Each structure stands twice: as structure tokens, then as C-alpha cells.
Chains A and B, each alone.
Chain A
Amino acid sequence: MKLIFGVIIVLSMMLLDVSCAMFGKSTEYHGFDAGRLATFTTGTTTAGEIVKVFGAPTHIVKLSNGNAYVYERSVSKGTGIWLVLVSFGNYETQYDRVVFFFDHQDILTHYGLSMHGGDSSYGLPF
């Protein structure tokens, strides 16, 4: 009996060794500080002042009555589980993004802020 139980324990350990799990995280970093937005005033702040504080934008988009500067960073988290016959993967990407709208004189007219990078999470696909 001891031999049988020994075999079962060894086989169980081998079966568990066939499976494995993976966790990963990647970040596209852009060092803008959303807390500095309070220092900007629509109607007076210029594009130059924003670039001095936030640095070079990630994208610049031409609009019908001006331009938009986009600052963006992303956080991705991945989870993978390999069992004996099945494998599951989950990959989630969320963004922190600030968009500044300027008129033709490069004066700030609007800005929008979304901070969802911290919402990225590990998990299963169901």
C-alpha cells in the first residue's frame, strides 16, 4: 500500500509540474504630471507654456480651428495559465491621457484628462 500511495504522490507532483502560470507587466512611460493641470488657464495659457511643463507631446493632431496636443502613457498587465490540456491568457491595457486643444493662436481653449492606467489588472479571460 505504501508503494501505491508513494506512486500516486510522485505522479501528482509530476502532473502539477506540467502546469505553470505567468504574470507580466509593461508600461509605456511618459512622465507628465496631471497634478500640474491646475496651473493652466483656458484662454491665456499658450502651447509653449504647456510644452515647458509637460515636455514633447506624444501626438499632435490638426483640427478645424486649431491643434490638439496629446500626452499618453499606457499600462499593460498580462496573465497566462497553462494546465495540462488547456491554457488561458488575459492581457489588459489601460491609458493615462491628457489632450490640450488650442486655437490658431496656440492659446489653450479646452483640455480633457483620463487617468485609467491604474485600472489595468491581472485576471482570467472569463
Chain B
Amino acid sequence: MGFRFNVALVFIISFMAGVILSGCVSYQLVRQVRGTGIMPPDDTLKAGSTTLAEVLSLYGAPDKLGEIGDHDLLIYERILYSNSGLTFGIPFGDFPLIKPEISARGGLGRYDTLALFFTSDRIVRYIVYTKGSGCPYPKALFEEEGAAGDGNGVKCKNGNDSSGDEEGVDKSR
């Protein structure tokens, strides 16, 4: 009998704590995905020989395209955006001037990108691939880019890869 009473008491206290804390502590996690996964380039894509028709056959319609000088650029892209937040506050709903609250929020956008530069003859000239989603969320969010002055940015297995004629292409972009 005493055991059942204790269980009921714990439940009631937990409920009261939950109701009170629901206005005081909250955690939010939101994820947005835009676009579909991108197949990493393999031996079927070769700078200097692969044609636009072959690229369209492999990857379908590009997400973005444009003209750069006398060359064209096709971009296939998937965006993964994560947002999380932790809030502590005291809900004085009846007192509009009193609303103490401390919150911490973080947002991180990661890009999987395949950029293909074409000559005016519509032959692949240069291939750049980056898999930003391969970088874990906490590591990418909390590490400072270019930390310790090494200029190398966040280090993670992001599958960066590039090939082709580098003339006239700024790799740092």
C-alpha cells in the first residue's frame, strides 16, 4: 500500500515539475533538407573528355547553371540545415515587463556540391566535389574556421575532391 502511494506521489511531483518546467526549460531541434543526395564523381566523369550529354544522363537536370566568361558552370547541390536551441526562462506571463530568459541557439548549413565547369564546346573542363554533410554537426558548429591560424578550416571527412585543368580557376572559392 505504501509502495503504491509512493509511486503516485512521485508521479504527481513529476507531473507538477513537468508543467512548471515546460515554461522554463525547452530544447528545439529543427532540420531542413533541400535537394536530393549527389552521387560522388567517379571514373565516368573525366575532365577533358566527358560531354554535357553524358553529365545530364548521369546526374539529370542541374540545380543551378550559369555563364562564366566563355565557359559554363553546372551545379548539383544538396543543402542540409540544422538548427538547435536551448532556452531557460521564468514564465511571468502576467507581467509583461518581467520576462527573464537565457537562451543558446546554433544554426549550421552544410552543402553537398558538385560543380562542373564546361568549355564552350560543352566538354567538362574542371570538376569540384564537396560533401559538407560528411562533417558531424557538433564538430562543424563549434570549431572555428581557420582556428589557430592554420588557414585550413574545419577538418573532417567531407570528401572534398577536384580534378581537371586548374588554369583560371580559383580553388580557394
Contacts and interface: CB of A to CB of B under 8 A. Distances in A.
Interface stretch (B57-65, B107-115, B146-154, B158-166): B57-65
Secondary structure of the B contact surface, majority rule = mixed
Given A63-B65, A68-B65, A112-B56, A95 B35 contact: yes
A21 interface: no
Interface string A85-111: 111111111110111010000000111
B65 A99 contact: yes
A3 to B, nearest CB: 10
A64 B30 contact: no
Contact of A86 (B28, B53, B70): B28
B65 A61 contact: yes
Contacts of A87: 26-29
A92 B32 contact: yes
Interface in B60-112: 60-63, 65-67, 69-72, 82
Interface residues of A, number: 41
A97 B26 contact: no
Nearest to B30: A89
A125 B4 contact: no
Interface of A: 1, 4, 7-8, 11, 14-15, 18, 61-65, 68, 70, 84-95, 97-99, 101, 109-114, 116, 119, 125-126
Given A87-B28, A91-B31, A98-B61, 7 more contacts: A4-B8, A68-B65, A89-B31, A95-B35, A110-B52, A112-B56, A114-B60
Q: 3 closest pairs, A vs B, by CB?
A: A125-B31, A114-B60, A112-B56
15 contacts: A4-B5, A15-B18, A18-B22, A64-B120, A84-B18, A84-B21, A85-B22, A86-B29, A89-B29, A90-B32, A93-B35, A94-B35, A95-B35, A114-B59, A114-B61
